[in-house]
Amino acid sequence: MGDGGKGVTNRIDQLRQEILEKTRELVRLREGKKEFQAGSSVVPYAGRVYDEEEVAAGVSSMLDFWLTLGPEGAAMEKELSEFLGVRNCLLVNSGSSANLVAFSALTSYKLKERRILPGDEVITAAAGFPTTVAPIVQNGAVPVFVDVDPLTTNGRADQLEAAYVEGKTKAVFFAHTLGNPFDLAEVKRFCDEKGIWLIEDNCDALGSKYDGKWTGTFGDLSTQSFYPPHHLTMGEGGSVNIVSKAILKTCAESFRDWGRDCWCPSGKDDTCCKRFDWQMGDLPKGYDHKYIYSHLGYNVKPLDPQAAIGRVQLKKLPAFIAARIRNWEFLRRQLVGLEDVIDFMLPTHATAWSPSGFSWVAGKPVVEPSWFGFMMLVKPNARFSRTDLARALDQAKVGNRMLFGGNLVRQPAFVQLRQDSQGKAFRVIGDLSGSDRIMNEAVFVGTYPGLDEEKLSYIASIIRSVAKA
């Protein structure tokens, strides 16, 4: 390159640095500390927490204009897998897509006798977010709903045996609800004993630990969501985590990338060194491997600028986790004395909470949730209802949510599904009384890192005022 070329390159580098510094300055000015006004300032239950570095990373990636998943995506997949300690991570465009791709991967013919076929059964929890269950139905399998423990919000491991049918049950698909790990020791023991798959929906729980180990690393596959309320954000986005089995990466990647058999990254060809030497299906030998499709897949990749933002967020994850734990504890201390009218959420294997910490079931692993929210159950004997509390919080501009879909079998989609299938679309174990209690009594507020003690104290004051009215 001549001197003229070097001059252009230097000018490009200079302009790039100027743009990024101006971007950082803009964000600092725009996002300066805003004064909190109790009663008029909105206190969301969750939201993105970022600074100028995330914006600069996104802008820098946009200046390269790669757009589709590329070098930033590859780097984030590697960094996330290293953080979790799993074999691979595959970025997708949402947590819902992550659940769809993870479950679809288990339907691949490449898994031979272990593949999930239409009509096979999958054990899941009756209360939670519907996209844990939707992929089961969308792939023609049959959800078998076990109840949840209303204090942990997680599927009841003691009902697994009652839900199991030899030769029909192929997997367990549970979520770590609100960041609280489900009983991984018992669920994994059950899956290993029966020789069935375990998928962890880890979308609420990035950074949670069970017996000292990250959730999302116990099953065969796990999933993440990077939607703004979650533990880190790419705007939209998610991940399928392949814990140890290489074949599951092949299957999941195919379903993510149109169903194709080729594993070449975008912009690269012939990484298998036999692009025109394959013979698959009824295609002629030598048909271009980039256009051989082994599955009926999707295109659910995120954009590279999103991954650039996610990489900055991932560096902040330890601080985010610590903040969620700290905020939950602060709220719980603020609400001491309301136990006669409110049942407060407990970690799995915990028996009680006190200002000095949790009490645990003897002999069970310690659980360390990275809390997605602070959930309360308004007791039936209280002078106020869950709706009264939710309405008061809403009027005070405090964000709050029910526990997602509550008892899912009572949702219109599942009522219709049962009618259309004449009761054959899913099975239910027991009376789902815990799920009904969640549906009728549960409400949660935020614990996300954007909340400070001033806002948390305000949240607690609204709850106390309703409880003591």
230 is catalytic: yes
Which amino acid, 294? S
Q: Token pair for residue 296?
A: 């009926």
**pTM, full prediction:** 0.96
Task: Identify the pLDDT of residue 244.
Answer: 97
Domain stops at, among 273, 306, 339? 306
Q: Name the residue among 237, 268, 302 with its Cα closest to residue 94.
A: 237
Cβ–Cβ under 8 Å, residues 405 and 133:
no
337 and 237 housed in the same domain: no
CB-CB neighbours of 134 under 10 Å: 17
Task: Put residue 430 in one of left, alpha, beta given phi > 0 → left and psi -120 to 50 → alpha.
Answer: left
Mean pLDDT of each 10-residue bin along the chain, 469 residues long:
77 96 96 88 96 98 94 97 98 98 98 98 98 98 98 98 98 98 98 98 98 98 97 97 98 97 82 90 94 96 98 98 98 98 98 96 97 98 98 98 97 97 96 98 98 98 95
**343 in any annotated domain:** yes
Domain extent, residue 107, equals: 64-306
Torsions phi, psi of 440, nearest 5? -95, -25
CA–CA distance, 129 with 135 (Å, rounded to integer): 12
281 and 381 housed in the same domain: no
**9 in any annotated domain:** no
CATH number for the domain harbouring residue 152: 3.40.640.10
241 and 330 housed in the same domain: no
265 and 386 housed in the same domain: no
Task: Identify the pLDDT of residue 265.
Answer: 78
**260 in any annotated domain:** yes
Q: Indicate which residue of 230, 289, 295, 349 is catalytic.
A: 230
DSSP state of 57: H
DSSP state of 394: H
Task: Identify the pLDDT of residue 6.
Answer: 85
What domain count does the chain have?
2
272 and 328 housed in the same domain: no
Domain stops at, among 285, 306, 327? 306
293 and 324 housed in the same domain: no
Task: Identify the pLDDT of residue 7.
Answer: 85
Residues near 49 by Cβ (< 8 Å), separated by ≥ 6? 316, 320, 448, 449, 450
State the residue for tokens 């960094």: 79
CA–CA distance, 149 with 127 (Å, rounded to integer): 10
CATH number for the domain harbouring residue 423: 3.90.1150.10
**396 in any annotated domain:** yes
342 and 275 housed in the same domain: no
Domain stops at, among 306, 327, 347? 306
Q: Name the residue among 231, 257, 377, 247 with its Cα closest to residue 314.
A: 231
322 and 235 housed in the same domain: no
269 and 369 housed in the same domain: no
**42 in any annotated domain:** no
Task: Identify the pLDDT of residue 2.
Answer: 58
* Residue range 326-365, pLDDT digits in tens: 999 999 999 999 999 999 999 999 999 999 999 999 999 9
Task: Identify the pLDDT of residue 49.
Answer: 96
